[in-house]
Amino acid sequence: MNSKYGHIILPVRNAHTLSVQFLILIVLLLVLPLLLSTLNCSKESPLPTYTYDPEVNVFALLILNNQQKIVRVERSYKATDYFPEQRGITDATVFIHDDTTAVQFLHQGNGIYQDVDGRLLLAAGKSYRLDVTLANGKKITAQCRQPGRPAILSPVNNSVVDAFKFLSIEWGKADFAYRYLVYLNDTSRDFTVSDRTDSTALTFYPFLFAEPDVYVIKVVAAEPNYYDYIRGRPEDEPLSLVSGGLGVFGAVAYDEIVVVAK
């Protein structure tokens, strides 16, 4: 038959050849699916199993503003295991050193360790070293440098801004800051958005100020560890910023203002 596809048909030269070809096709179309079905090819493949050795997961953050130090030590789990609420490592030895002092953080429950006496003094520009030693002797270490506090220059605290408009925020450069995280919280609708920048200014989009409301703006100066930890995508690959485990040891300092959008 001729069609626009240029279909070519040759006369049958050999009936035996044709029946062989047809037989091949019948085998393919009838026997093969039947065979594959009987071999359970239509069933779900068994799910894979994996081996995994749990790791130590450390979150340690120094906040200059109120001399706050948060240290949490826990473990990761095999994917198929139950993930308990009480998963902290309770018998680790945790120290944070500055250049003159080594302060032990004591376990308070569920993997949280605290500087009970407040002996560790945070100061801008100072370097700190975290040492975590597990009962089995495994060590996790990390270092960071405390940035100073930024100072928000614009808008002024408790000022009134226009709703439905862009809002530009400017601040003074903080000592020893690597980059900045900026948080905007809508107090009544209780949502928080954040952004990152390496400059000292940022503009928030108008739909964030679509409702007349009270907004709290925080500008956080971060050192490289905590900044990289925040900007990383944990769903892809957890950024390991401590040696010997997962997690981060970082330091921040912030300034905050309140603005009223009308």
Could you tell me which stretch among 26-34, 90-98, 99-107, 138-146 binds other proteins (CB under 8 A)? Answer: 26-34
Could you tell me which stretch among 15-23, 124-132, 134-142, 143-151 binds other proteins (CB under 8 A)? Answer: 15-23
- Check residue 211 for interaction with other proteins (CB under 8 A): yes
Binding mask 167-186 for other proteins (x = CB under 8 A): ------------x---x-x-
- Check residue 12 for interaction with other proteins (CB under 8 A): yes
Rounded Cα distance between 202 and 227, Å, is 16
33 to 27, 29, 37, 46, 184: CA distances (angstroms):
9, 7, 6, 21, 60
Rounded Cα distance between 8 and 157, Å, is 83
- Check residue 149 for interaction with other proteins (CB under 8 A): no
259 to 70, 170, 255, 262: CA distances (angstroms):
29, 14, 13, 10
- Check residue 42 for interaction with other proteins (CB under 8 A): yes
Q: How far is the CB of 12 from other proteins (least distance, A)?
A: 8
Q: How far is the CB of 218 from other proteins (least distance, A)?
A: 5
Binding mask 234-253 for other proteins (x = CB under 8 A): xxxxxx------xx----x-
